[in-house]
Amino acid sequence: MAEKDISKAVIVRLPRYYRYLGELMEDGVERISSNELSVRMKVTASQIRQDLNNFGGFGQQGYGYNVKYLYTEIGNILGINRQHNVIIIGAGNLGQAIANYTNFEKRGFLIKGMFDVNPRLIGLVVRGVEIRSVDDLETFVKENEVQIAALTIPKTKAPEIADRLVSAGIKAIWNFAHTDLNVPEDVVVENVHLSESLMRLSYRVCSMQDNEKKENEEKQEKKD
């Protein structure tokens, strides 16, 4: 089934399935039912079955799911069985942290290059990857068949760099810059706004604290 027929919510959950199944394999679990998986993932069993039925189901009634098979198939759906060449634009703390994260390579994402405008960073090597000048960006993308670019640069610079990447043939942008990018429809953008994520966390913490305060006040009123 084509990706356009699959809801975004299902796609968002697939990496979670992949992670949990990987953990099950590490624990030596060979098969699992949707009910057992739902307990681990805090997702209903019916939701799990509905999600996986979008891709053919993979389970057998009375048997459940073969963990290794399902793990492999979800990896294929996510494209982890293919190599994706990645570059990082912005070699500061965040860019270097991404380059140093070894699990990306296990998932098929190979960091091919890093780029920056800071002359003090250009020429340095991070996990075997040399930091280059952004002047070399287009040539490097074309010569190394790069499909994905991670932007860890200030938002004021992001639109210009994004335009250059699109012109060079980049098909996907992992955007850590705190701004929305205007790109053609055939270019995929995954936005990662760290401050927004932290604010959502703040909201949830404050809501819990407010609820606890309200409950305590109600208990105190009953005592009085």
CATH of the domain at 62: 1.10.10.10
**Residue at a domain's end among 59, 78, 97:** 78
Domain count for the chain: 2
Last residue of a domain, one of 55, 78, 101: 78
Determine, yes or no, domain membership for 103: yes
Do 106 and 184 fall into the same domain? yes
Of 18, 46, 78, the last residue of a domain is: 78
Query: In this structure, are 42 and 116 located in the same domain?
Result: no
200 within domain boundaries: no
Over the range 112-138, which residues count as b (16 or more CB within 10 Å of their CB) and which as e? bbbbbeeeebbeeebeebebbebeebe
Residues 116, 154 contacting (CB under 8 angstroms): no
Q: Examine the domain organization and report whether 127 and 142 are in the same domain.
A: yes
CB-count exposure of residue 1 (10 Å: 0-12, 13-18, 19+) = exposed
- DSSP element (H, E) containing 110: strand 109-116
Residues 91 and 181 in one domain: yes
Domain that holds residue 157: 84-192
Q: Is residue 15 in a domain? A: yes
Query: pLDDT tens, position by position, for the chain (224 residues)?
Result: 344 467 888 888 999 999 999 999 999 999 999 899 999 999 899 999 889 888 876 866 667 899 999 999 999 999 888 899 999 999 999 999 999 998 888 888 999 999 999 999 999 999 999 999 999 999 999 999 999 999 999 999 999 999 999 999 999 999 999 899 999 999 999 999 888 888 999 999 999 999 998 888 888 878 76
One domain for residues 7 and 104: no
Q: Are residues 46 and 117 both part of a single domain?
A: no
51 and 127 part of one domain: no
What SS3 class is residue 51?
A: helix
The answer to whether the CB of 20 falls within 8 A of the CB of 34 is no
Domain contains 197? no
Task: State the first-to-last Cα distance of the chain, in angstroms, to the nearest integer.
Answer: 63
Describe the strand order of the beta sheet including 64-66 as a list of residue ranges.
31-32, 64-66, 59-60
